[in-house]
Amino acid sequence: MSELRIVLGDDHTLVRQGVRKILEARPDWTVVAEAGDGREAVRKTLELQPDVTVLDIGMPLLNGIEATRQIARRAPGVHVLIVSMHTDEAYITQALQAGAIGYLLKDSADTDLIRAVGDVAAGRSFLSPAGARVML
């Protein structure tokens, strides 16, 4: 299997570091860049063309939904996973309509993050169980 390349976008450094540590525990996965705001996440995604970009919704300068929209339009080969604390149907719907193919709640287990990134990288949609219940 080839290396999976990931860009992380979240305005909280500690969250980015924790997510990076979880993802890079997989020997074939590498976080190629981190971004602290939405504009930087879009820029790094366009520049590096990772397999997956993991984005928070609530980021400065450009929120995760608009960043997803720009990535989907300008880098259609990159799959976007939203990782958010928001469980509202409106957020989930907006993220998916913007082009994300996965939505994971921040209170999920590390194994859910691994599964979500793997599914999204393979082009499969992923909704965390709580998010799926909300949508149903």
The pLDDT tens digits of the residues spanning 87-126 come to 888 899 899 999 999 999 988 889 999 999 999 999 999 9
Look at phi and psi of residue 20 and say left if phi exceeds 0, alpha if psi is from -120 to 50, else beta: alpha
Banded pLDDT at 132 (limits 50, 70, 90) = low
The pLDDT tens digits of the residues spanning 34-87 come to 999 999 999 999 999 999 999 999 999 999 999 999 999 999 999 999 999 888
**Exposed, middle or buried: residue 107 (CB in 10 Å: 0-12, 13-18, 19+)?**
exposed
CB 30 within 8 A of CB 5: yes
